[in-house]
Structure 1
Amino acid sequence: MEFRYLGNSGLRISEVTYGNWLTHGSQVENDVAATCVRAALDAGITSFDTADVYANTVAESVLGDALKGERRESLEIFTKVFWPTGPKGPNDSGLSRKHIMESINGSLQRLQTDYVDLYQAHRYDPVTPLEETMQAFADVVRQGKALYIGVSEWTAEQITAGAAMAKELGFQLISSQPQYSMLWRVIEDEVVPASREAGVSQIVWSPIAQGVLTGKYQPGQPPPEGSRATDEKGGASTITRFMTDETLTAVQRLKPIAESVDLSMSQLAVAWVLQNDNVASAIVGASRPEQVHENVGAVGVKLPAETLAAIDDALGGVVERDPGKTAENAPKERP
């Protein structure tokens, strides 16, 4: 395993982060989840990402159980706040002071830890004043319940404003967690430059485009049984945008490119996002331990310039690059 600094901080995290969105408490049984976490630890992964909303808080509990007995100081545990949890009452979502202060306590209890290394705003709250949100995060840090603060799927302007306010309040905003892959590059033109300027780096989710970049989905063919595209618990809806024959045909052109550098297609996908020097880590999930070991094979890989160019040529016009997609996909009101 190799490690990178997260933003303009002294915190180092593993180049691959184990995430449990759509798996723990949902797709896989708890014993399988624990086996996958053990595989991650054995592979040298020290960073683990979750959120209170995953499986309506159950994913945090599963991760807490799976990490029980590990040396806490040797781990970096990340969680998030924003989306509705619990009975979904009027204050059970958003980034109000009330919801943040109550949510961090619940997350710590479920994760069985006194603090998280990184506490992230899962989306930007369009109705709560930014000052209220950032002051609450400052207090969470001062109380020792979180060591660092990050955001997820914020626009460049929101990151700039949030980082500036954090500095005024005496703490650092150090990370951004956006979707990023060979097929989804919307952060490159605005979010990444703004993040560099603010001392923020990326922890990217879906580097394999929800499994599409493994090449297992064939154009003109139904998706394999048991795959993400057949999972009605949430996976099927998130993968739809990539399931066109044009995109799947382009992805098949990546196979000889991966073979030319002795990587699997999933390893190529993870290695590709790690070529971006503003990316600190790529989040990978797993429903089987062998998936963890395969993805870790991307760590430390340096892709030649001709390989990167070949990837661009292979994917052509199916790549989404519009920076406006971050704002377009953001909640317009509190959920």
Structure 2
Amino acid sequence: MQHRHLGTSGLKVSEIIYGNWLTHASQVQDKQAIETVHAALDGGITTFDTADVYANQAAETVLGTALKGQRREGLEILTKVYWPVAEKGPNDVGLGRKHIMESINGSLNRLNTDYVDLYQAHRFDYETPLEETMQAFADLVRMGKVLYVGVSEWTADQIRQGQALATQMGYRLISNQPQYSMLWRIVEGEVVPASKELGLSQIVWSPLAQGVLTGKYLPNAELPKDSRAADSEIGGFMEKFMTEDTLTRVQKLKPLAEELSLTMAQFGIAWVLQNQNVAAAIVGASKPEQIASNVAAVGVEIPAETMKKVDEILGSAVVTDPSLTKSPNPRPTGQ
């Protein structure tokens, strides 16, 4: 395993980060989830990403149980705040001071830790003054409950505004967590340049486009049973990638992966890690053996000519529109 700094901070994270969205307390039984976390540790992964909203707080509990007994100083634990949780009352959502302060206490309790290494604003909150949000994060840093602060799916302008306020308050944003893969590159045009300028780096989720880049989905074929695309609750995240044209193009990537003696999944992760401003890729896993396979992508160097071929093969299937980086719109006035 290799480690990289997050932005210009002193915090290092493993290039492969274990994430438990859609798995812990959901698709995977607790015993198997714990075994998979231990496989991640055995593979050299030291960084673990979760969020209070995953399985409505239960995923944090599973992760906390799985990491129990590990040397805390040797881990980087990341979680997030924003989405509705618990009983989903009027203050159980957003980035207001009340929700942030109550959420961190809940997360720390579920994760069995006194602090989190990185606390992330899971989306931008249009309904709360940004000054209030950034001040709450500043206070958590001073309390020692949070060591570093990051954001997720913020636009370039939002990152600029947030960083300006954070700097005034004596701390810095160090990371952004966007969706990013060979097929989904909407951060390249605006978010990545702004992040490089302001000292943030990207921790990317869905580096395999929810499994599409593994090549297991064939054009004009039935969906594999028990796959994410076949799950009515998850499949909606994948619709944009499940066109005949995109699936056909993805199949043409297989020879490129084979030339490097990589699986399609390893190729997709290695591609992400080779791109500018990316510090780490978040991978999920339902089985320990999947972790071992993903870790093999670390340290792989893809030749420039191969990177160029990826672009040529995927062509118009690649999504680059920066306007697709967005958070839920505010409620209409009066609601």
Q: 1: distance between equivalents of 2:252 and 2:234?
A: 24
Corresponding residue SS for 1:228? coil
| 1:285-304 superposed matches below 5 A | 285-304=284-303
Pairs aligned (count)? 332
Aligned amino acid, residue 268 of structure 1:
F
- Could you say what the CA RMSD is over the residues aligned between the two structures, in angstroms? 1.0
Write out the 4+ residue segments of structure 1 that deviate beyond 2 Å after TM superposition. Answer: none
2:330 to 320, 330, 333: 333
Q: Give the match for residue 261 of structure 2.
A: 262
Question: What is the CA-CA distance between 1:302 and the residue it aligns to?
Answer: 1.0
Question: Partner residue of 1:222?
Answer: 222
Q: 1:37 — aligned with what?
A: 37
Q: Distance in 2 between matches of 1:114 and 1:168?
A: 26
Residues 1:322 and 2:321 aligned together: yes
Which amino acid in structure 1 is aligned with residue 220 of structure 2? G
How far does residue 277 in structure 1 lie from its aligned partner after superposition? Answer: 3.1
2:264 alignment partner AA: M
Match of 1:253 in 2: 252
How far apart are the structure 2 equivalents of 1:296 and 1:208? 14
In structure 2, give the amino acid aligned to 1:333: P
Q: Aligned partners of 1:99 and 1:27: how far apart in 2?
A: 28
Deviations 1:22-55 (A, max 9, x none): 0001000001100110110000000000000000
Please give the TM-score of this superposition, normalised by the length of structure 1: 0.98
Distance 2:49 2:75 in 1: 11
Deviations 1:244-268, CA, capped at 9 Å, x for gaps: 1111001000000100111110001
Q: Give the aligned partner of residue 237 of structure 2.
A: 238
Deviations 1:70-112 (A, max 9, x none): 0000000000000000000000000000000000000000000
**DSSP-derived class of the 1:229 partner:** coil
Give distance in 2, aligned partners of 1:165 and 1:113.
28
CA distance in 2, matches of 1:222, 1:140: 49
Q: Distance in 1 between matches of 2:229 and 2:285?
A: 15
CA distance in 2: counterparts of 1:227 and 1:333, whole angstroms: 34
1:5-154 → structure 2 map (5 Å cutoff):
5-154=5-154
Q: Name 1:2's counterpart in structure 2.
A: 2
* Amino acid aligned to 1:278: N
Distance 1:6 1:103 in 2: 23
The equivalent residue for 1:161 is 161
AA aligned opposite 2:250: V
Partner amino acid, structure 1, of 2:258: E
Query: C-alpha distance in 2, partners of 1:222/1:133?
Result: 46
The equivalent residue for 2:170 is 170
- The amino acid across from 2:254 in the alignment is K
SS in 1 for 2:178: coil
Amino acid at match of 2:314: L
Look up the equivalent residue of 2:89 and give its one-letter code: G
Q: Deviations over 1:161-183 (max 9, x none)?
A: 11111010001100000000000
Supply the distance in 2 between the matched residues of 1:119 and 1:74 (Cα, whole angstroms): 17
Q: Secondary structure in 2 aligned to 1:41?
A: helix
Residue identity matched to 1:261? L
Q: How far apart, in 1, do the equivalents of 2:190 and 2:209 lie? A: 21
Amino acid of the residue matched to residue 120 of structure 2?
A: Q
Q: Point out where structure 2 has 5 or more consecutive residues left out of the alignment.
A: none
Cα distance in 2 between the residues matched to 1:130 and 1:94:
11
Letter in 2 for 1:147: L
Q: Percent identity?
A: 65
Partner SS for 1:90: coil
